[in-house]
Structure 1
Amino acid sequence: MSGGIARGRLAEERKQWRKNHPHGFVAKPETQQDGSMNLLQWQCIIPGKAGTDWEGGYYPLTMHFSEEYPSKPPKCKFPADWRPAITVKQILVGIQDLFGPAYAADPAQTEGYHLFIQDTAEYKRRVRLQAKQYPATI
């Protein structure tokens, strides 16, 4: 796919995001020095899910899109199963779901999972401490 398709898709997703996005989430293209938007790089914030130890934290994420988007996924710090129909909104909500309890069947982070199993109180303390490192900036 050409960059025109990627940029057109991202421009439309930005438009839809501005009309309707999950409360507390932020996703916006970076502004370049000349004032124009770089649709291929977005600055995002994902709120910790309510009712979890991640609640109260607002976690920054940069998404780097290639000229092959939506056929190829953006580069993020979190792994995801990719389908070209996935939108920016779906990516961020999916990542927020990772901010929940550790799951035995599919641990996202082995070290965190082992701490959760061996010392749940310490795991929760560390998560709450991390949530405080990323207070609301919006």
Structure 2
Amino acid sequence: MSLRNIRLQEERKQWRKDHPFGFFAKPVKGADGSLDLTVWKAGIPGKAGTIWEGGIYPIRLDFPAEYPSKPPKVKFPPGFYHPNIYPSGTVCLSILNEDQDWKPAITLKQILLGVQELLNTPNPDSPAQEPAWKAFSKDPALYEKKVLDQVKKYPHTV
């Protein structure tokens, strides 16, 4: 068994034992019904008391063959509105960049909490999509309206 799969089995075990309230993360099922540990679907709730509250935002994590030496690719649906999310949905976050702050010890839980933190505290120095970055920087009312529209698109249903 590969190092990646051993690590991902351990991550899954840890996640099932202890994960932050409101989050979900699970490997996808292959056509034959078996779990594919290299691709996960997850949901990140908007933090209480922020404009993101009330939504649960879908992401996909793809773990490369070199994981945990290399970080997973983390993507929202294409077109997700946020200054640090590329139009393709790819998340621009230093802990997910092997040339910046990625370390093999970073866990699934830390990744998802990091992405949740990024939602409400965008990094204006690392813009990934111009419309959201411009609104965040220059037109906070428009930015808030667009985020609130997105909350409605991804309601937190229990």
- TM-score w.r.t. the length of structure 2 is 0.78
Aligned equivalents of 1:134 and 1:75: distance in 2? Answer: 21
Aligned equivalents of 2:66 and 2:123: distance in 1? Answer: 33
When residues 106 and 66 of structure 1 are mapped into structure 2, their CA distance, relative to the original with a 3 A threshold, is closer
Task: Find the residue that maps to 1:98 and give its secondary structure.
Answer: helix
Cα deviation digits, residues 11-54 of structure 1 (max 9, x gap): 01100000000111111000112221100000011111111111
Unaligned runs of 5+ in 1: none
Aligned equivalents of 2:123 and 2:18: distance in 1? Answer: 30
Query: 1:117 matched to which residue of 2?
Result: 137
The percent of aligned pairs where both chains have the same amino acid is 51
Query: 1:57 matched to which residue of 2?
Result: 55
**Are the counterparts in 2 of residues 102 and 108 from structure 1 also a CA contact under 8 Å?**
no
Aligned equivalents of 2:93 and 2:124: distance in 1? Answer: 18
Query: 1:127 matched to which residue of 2?
Result: 147
Matched residues, number: 136
**Are the counterparts in 1 of residues 69 and 104 from structure 2 also a CA contact under 8 Å?**
yes
The one of 79, 83, 92 equivalent to 1:79 is: 92
Query: 1:100 matched to which residue of 2?
Result: 120
Aligned equivalents of 1:127 and 1:53: distance in 2? Answer: 7
Query: 1:14 matched to which residue of 2?
Result: 12
The alignment yields a C-alpha RMSD, in angstroms, of: 1.8
Q: Which has the higher contact order (CA 8 A, sep 6+)?
A: 1
Unaligned runs of 5+ in 2: 75-89, 95-101
When residues 101 and 109 of structure 1 are mapped into structure 2, their CA distance, relative to the original with a 3 A threshold, is farther
Task: Find the residue that maps to 1:28 and give its secondary structure.
Answer: strand
**Are the counterparts in 1 of residues 50 and 120 from structure 2 also a CA contact under 8 Å?**
yes
Aligned equivalents of 1:85 and 1:108: distance in 2? Answer: 26
Aligned equivalents of 1:34 and 1:105: distance in 2? Answer: 44
When residues 42 and 18 of structure 1 are mapped into structure 2, their CA distance, relative to the original with a 3 A threshold, is same
